[in-house]
Amino acid sequence: MDYTRLGTSGMKISRIALGCMSFASGGRQGAWTLDAEAAEPIFRQAVELGITFWDTANIYGNGTSEEITGEAIRKYTRREDVVLATKLFSPMGTGPGGSGLSRRAVFEQVDASLERLGTDYIDLYQIHRFDPNTPVEETMEALHDVVKAGKVRYIGASSMWAWQFSKMQYTAELHGWTRFVSMQDQYNLVAREEEREMYPLLADQGVGAIPWSPLAAGLVTRPWGQASTTRGKANPSTDSSGTPLWLKTDQGTVDAVQAIAEARGIPMAQVALAWVLRNPVVSAPIVGATKPHHFTDAVAALDVTLTDDEVTALEEHYTPRKPTYYGSKSGY
């Protein structure tokens, strides 16, 4: 395993992150999720491979992902060996602090996450979305306060417009509050809109990107038109605003991934993930593994160096599109 700092912060993380959205009890996240027993081999493999950066969220499995993740840390590794990340924003209750990024919500949800995770601190506490109903000053001061209280070590953000992230970051700087060290956003071969505004901003601010869906929900891991996975079939074809997640023109990109993989004699997933990893802003893509080969491919991708001609082939068919999920109510 390779390791790096998260952006320009001092926090050391593995270059592959374990995405824990795949873990939930009672099928609360979907038929494709794994309960604690089924997830055991995945957690054990993560530990064996040196994947020390684990990411979850309060909304995943309605809190059960945090419970499973916390239990796995206690059973298969040590708390001091894991960089533990979680998130808040999405509805976890009907009360005033049950959702959003108000001061009450931040204080209420951080304590609830700590209890479910079975730990007394969170390494990276992330806002899952931008909250237009709460003053930025209120959110950033509350996040600063939970850091100063020792409940959180670092803070991060996820999936928003670059101007929103910039506003929050500069508000914190203006008041001497804790600034974000990470941005968790959608980034893969068929979703590259972050390259326009967000990634240049992250580079300027020294913020590390930890992309979710680096393999486009499996779209770039198998030939175009090949049967999807159980999770892929469960995923919607559009976001909550009706924006398509994938376009027909993405076939050219997928075909290029397949051609390069076949020429190299490696799985398509390694090629697609190697492309994500080559971006200097990316600290660690988040891999939601549900089968052993998911991590095997992810770790192998660290040793794949794409040529300039291969990169050109992978990028030449990209079609600009409207970014998805920024206004989503799903929280995913």
Establish whether 60 is a catalytic residue.
yes
- Asked if 103 and 97 count as a contact pair (C-beta separation under 8 A), the reply is no
Largest Cα separation within the chain, whole Å, is 56
C-alpha distances in Å from residue 145, one per residue of 176, 179, 324:
12, 12, 31
Query: What 8-state DSSP symbol labels residue 103?
Result: H
Burial 144-163 (b: 16+ CB within 10 A, else e): bbbbeeebbbbbbbbbbebe
Annotate 255-305 with DSSP letters as a single string: HHHHHHHHHHTS-HHHHHHHHHHTSTTBS--EE--SSHHHHHHHHHHTT--
C-alpha span between 2 and 302 (Å, rounded)? 8
Conformation bin of residue 3: beta by default, left when phi > 0, alpha when psi is -120 to 50:
beta
Contact 164, 132 (CB under 8 A): no
**What is the C-alpha to C-alpha distance for residues 181 and 185, in angstroms, rounded to an integer?**
13
CB 84 within 8 Å of CB 73: yes
Residue recorded with tokens 């997928």: 254
The catalytic residue among 60, 154, 187, 325 is: 60
Q: What count of other Cβ atoms lies within 10 Å of the Cβ of residue 175?
A: 12
Which residues are catalytically annotated? 60
